[in-house]
Amino acid sequence: MIKNFLLITLLLILTSCEGVKSALSGKKFENSDEFLVIKKNPLVLPPNFNDLPTPKEVADTTQIEDIENEIEDLLSSIKNDDEEVAESSSSNDTESFVLEKIKD
C-alpha cells in the first residue's frame, strides 16, 4: 500500500513539472528568428536621378595657393627662429637670451 502511494505521489510530482512534461512528450519549443535571413529588395534609382545637380570642384585653386603660401610662411618663420637660437646660443649668455625673448 505504501509503495503504491509513493509511486502515485512520485508520478503526480513528475507530471506537474513543466520541464518533465515537455521532455517526455517531445514538445518542440518556439525558436526565435535570430538566424533567419531576410531577403531584401534590389536597389532602384530614384525617379529624379537625372535632375540632380552636378558636384562642384572640391577646392578652388586660390584656396590651394593660399594654403601653400601659409605653409611656406610657417616654415620660413620656423627656420628664422632656429637661426636666432643658433646665433644666441653661440654666445654663452643664456640669461640675456631668455630676457630678450621675454621682452618680445
Is the separation of the CB atoms in 17 and 25 below 8 Å? no
- The pLDDT value recorded for residue 40 is 84
pLDDT tens string, the chain, 104 residues long: the values are 888 888 888 887 777 777 666 766 766 666 666 677 778 888 888 888 888 777 776 655 678 888 888 888 888 888 776 666 655 555 557 777 778 888 86
CA distance 73 to 81: 12
